Amino acid sequence: MKATTSFDQKFQFLTGFLCSCCLAIGMVRFSWSIEDGCIDILPNFNLLARNLMVVAGTYLFLLFLKDADGKISDLGMINWILCRYMLIYALIPGAINKLSNIHYQYSYSNASERMMDLDPSGLLWQLYSASDNYEWLIGLGQVLIILMLTFRKTTPIATLLLLPILINNLAFAIVFDSCNLLSYLSYLSFTLGGIIYMLPKFLRWMRTLKFHKLLGLNPKQRSHVLKSFGIFKIIIITGLMMQQLWMVDRSRNYYRTHKNHPLIGVWDVDTLRASTENFPKFNRLIFEQSIVGNVEVSDSLSKFYYIVDTNYHQMEFYNFHEFRALDLKGKYKLIDSNRVEYVGRNNKDSIYFSLIKQEDKLKKE
C-alpha cells in the first residue's frame, strides 16, 4: 500500500512538472514579437527556452526547501488552474469574433484567383468565410468549451474536445508553413497541461472499476448482444455486396461504352505528318474493346492507352510503353467505315495521320 502511495505521489509530481512546462510554452504568446506578420521567428523560440529554464530552476529550488513535496504539489495545482484560465483568455477573442461573423473575412482578391494558385491558408480561410452560419456555429462551439473550462469537473471533457482540433491546426501549420506555428503550439500546450495534470486521478478512477463485473452479462443480455452482433454482420456484408455490385456495374457500363465505337479494330497508317522531331513511324494501330491499344513500329508492338469521345469525335493517346514522350490529343474524322483522319497535337507539336482499316480475314473465311 505504501509503495502504491509513493508511486502516486511521484506520478503526481511528474504530471505537475509537465503541466508547468506546458504553461511555460503557452505563456510565450503574451510576450512574443511579430515581424512582417510572422510569429515563428528566432527571438520567440528563444523565449520558449527561457521559460522552460525558469520552470526547471523553480522546481530545482523547491527541492531544497522544507516540505518540498507539499510545495511542489501546490505549484502543480496552481499551474493547472493557470493553464485553464490562460486557455480561456486565449479562446475568448476568437469566439466573440466568430459569433459576430468578423473573424473569417471573405477575400475578393482570392475569389478572383484560380483555386490551384491560392496558398493553403488563403484557401482554407476563403472556405470558412463562405458561410456566416458556419462561422457562427464554430464560435458557439468555442463558447461551450470555454464554459466547460471554467469548472474543474468539466475541464477534462473540454480539453479532450479541443485536443484533436488543435492537433489538426498544428499539423496544418507544420505541413503548410503558415508562419503561425507558435500560436497553435501555445493553444495546444495549455490544453495538454489541463489533460496531463488530471492523469493521476484518471488512473485512480480506472483502478476502482471492476471490469469483470462491467463485462459480465446475464443470459438474456448475452442473447441481446449476439442478436445485435448478427444485425451488425448483416449490415457489413450488405454494404460490401453493394460496393462490389457498384464496381461491377461501373465496369459493365464502361465496357458497353467502349465495346462498339467505330475505331475498334486493326488500322494501317496511310499518311503520317508530325512536326515533332524523330516522331516514330507508325505502321499499324490496333484498338481493343477497352482503353488499351497497340502500335506497330518496325515490326514490334508497343502498348498504349486511349480514350474515345464519340459525341465530339475526340481521341487521346497516352502512356506509350516504348515512347514515353508521346501524348496525343485531337479529333478524328470518319471519312467512311474504313477510313479515318486524325488531327491533333503531340504535347505542343502538330500531328496528322490517316488510317485505313484492315479487313477481318477470319470473317471472310
pLDDT tens-digit readout, 224-274: 777 888 888 888 888 888 888 887 777 676 666 666 788 888 999 999 999
How many C-beta atoms lie closer than 10 Å to residue 247's C-beta? 10
Report domain extents, the chain: 2-212, 217-259, 265-364
Q: What's the pLDDT score for residue 4? A: 53
* Mode of pairing for the β-strands spanning 292-297 and 314-318: unpaired
Low-confidence stretches of the chain (pLDDT < 70) are 1-8, 112, 115, 209-218, 251, 253-259, 359-365
Q: Which residues contact 349 (CB under 8 A, 6 or more apart)?
A: 274, 275, 276
Q: Which residues contact 156 (CB under 8 A, 6 or more apart)?
A: 194, 195, 198, 202
182 touches 40 (CB < 8 A):
yes
pLDDT value, residue 329: 93
Amino acid (1-letter code) at residue 125: W
**Residue 319, phi-psi category: left (phi > 0), alpha (psi -120 to 50), beta (remainder):** left
In this prediction, residue 362 carries a pLDDT of 38
The predicted pLDDT at position 289 comes to: 78
The set of cell numbers assigned to 1 is 500500500
pLDDT for 348 equals 85
pLDDT the model gives residue 258: 61
Beta-bridged to residue 179, according to DSSP, are none
Which residue from 16, 50, 45, 15 is spatially nearest to 33, judged by alpha carbons?
A: 45
* 20-34 pLDDT tens trace: 999 999 999 888 888
Residues 293 and 306: beta-carbon distance below 8 Å: yes
Q: Into which CATH architecture does domain 265-364 fall?
A: Beta Barrel (2.40)
Distance CA 196, CA 200 (A): 8
